[in-house]
Amino acid sequence: MNISEKTKKRIYLGVIAVSIIAIVALGIDYRIRKKNAPKDGSYSGPVLNNKSDEDKVLVSVSTETIQDGLTDMGFLVTQEYYFTQVEKYTKEKKIFEFIPSSSEFIYSYDGAVMAGIDFEKIEIKKDDKEKKLTVVLPKSQIHSVTIDKNTFKVYSEKDSLWNPLKLEDYNISLEEFENAAKQKAIDNGILDRSDEQAKSLITNFIGNFPAASDYEIVFDYKLSAD
């Protein structure tokens, strides 16, 4: 299909007209942007609104949350003392009120003494001004004495005819053994070690709260365990 010279001129003029209109439009847009742009050359496009300092949420340490978490632990055993202990049990009696008679045996058991703190009695106090958290806790106490009766051994036994050993004597000896084991554990510092272990556990627990990171943790003790 042949296009006449007249038609070609019309198409040519149309293209030139569209191009001129586009150039003029771009020029006007440029002038408007330049006029409205900040003089310091900073970006003037869309800006995301940041929250002002007044809108920021201040995170505070919640002593209630910390105390509830510690309370849920209940009585926590923080130290154990294992032992193999040898004891001597003696049963004395007078025959006819003037003839002494005695029976005795030397024996041993394996066992363990458990000590800990009742975390339900812990109190948390906060001083925001000094940035200090005071943990008031009871002193450690002996929780239990466990004896493995399968480890019972008798090393020597002297049984008097007039004062024989009975089953109740072995039960009494076991009670005395538990008391002796408890005292031995205390003498070896089980309660002091339990206190220190409890402090370490509490410090680590509080450390899990980011809001407490700026607070100093100090410990104090109640006057009694009650």
pLDDT value at residue 177: 85
Q: Are residues 123 and 182 in the same domain?
A: yes
The answer to whether residue 226 sits within a structural domain is no
The answer to whether residue 37 sits within a structural domain is yes
The answer to whether residue 195 sits within a structural domain is yes
Q: Which amino acid is at 127?
A: D
Q: Are residues 12 and 85 in the same domain?
A: no
Q: In the predicted model, is pLDDT for residue 131 greater than 80?
A: yes
Q: In the predicted model, is pLDDT for residue 27 greater than 60?
A: no
Q: Are residues 102 and 192 in the same domain?
A: yes
| Mean pLDDT, the chain, whole residue set | 76
Q: In the predicted model, is pLDDT for residue 114 greater than 60?
A: yes
- Listed residue (119, 122, 136, 135) closest to 76, CA to CA: 119
Residue 18: give the domain boundaries: 1-47
Quick check: 81 and 111 in contact, CB under 8 A? no
Q: Are residues 11 and 77 in the same domain?
A: no
Q: What is the pLDDT of residues 140-195, one digit of tens each?
A: 999 999 989 889 888 867 766 555 666 666 777 788 888 889 999 999 999 999 99
For residues 172 and 16, the model is more confident at: 172
Q: Are residues 41 and 99 in the same domain?
A: no
pLDDT value at residue 50: 46
pLDDT value at residue 135: 94
Q: Are residues 113 and 24 in the same domain?
A: no
pLDDT value at residue 160: 61
The answer to whether residue 111 sits within a structural domain is yes
pLDDT value at residue 159: 64
- Listed residue (171, 221, 215) closest to 192, CA to CA: 221
Q: Are residues 75 and 158 in the same domain?
A: yes
Instruction: Give the three-class secondary structure for 163.
Output: coil
Q: Are residues 123 and 25 in the same domain?
A: no
Q: Are residues 124 and 171 in the same domain?
A: yes
Strand ranges of the sheet holding 216-221, from the earlier edge strand across to the other edge:
123-127, 132-137, 216-221
Quick check: 115 and 143 in contact, CB under 8 A? yes
Q: Are residues 121 and 159 in the same domain?
A: yes
SS (H, E, C) 191-206: HHHHHHHHHHHHHHHH
Q: Are residues 145 and 38 in the same domain?
A: no
Number of domains in the chain: 2
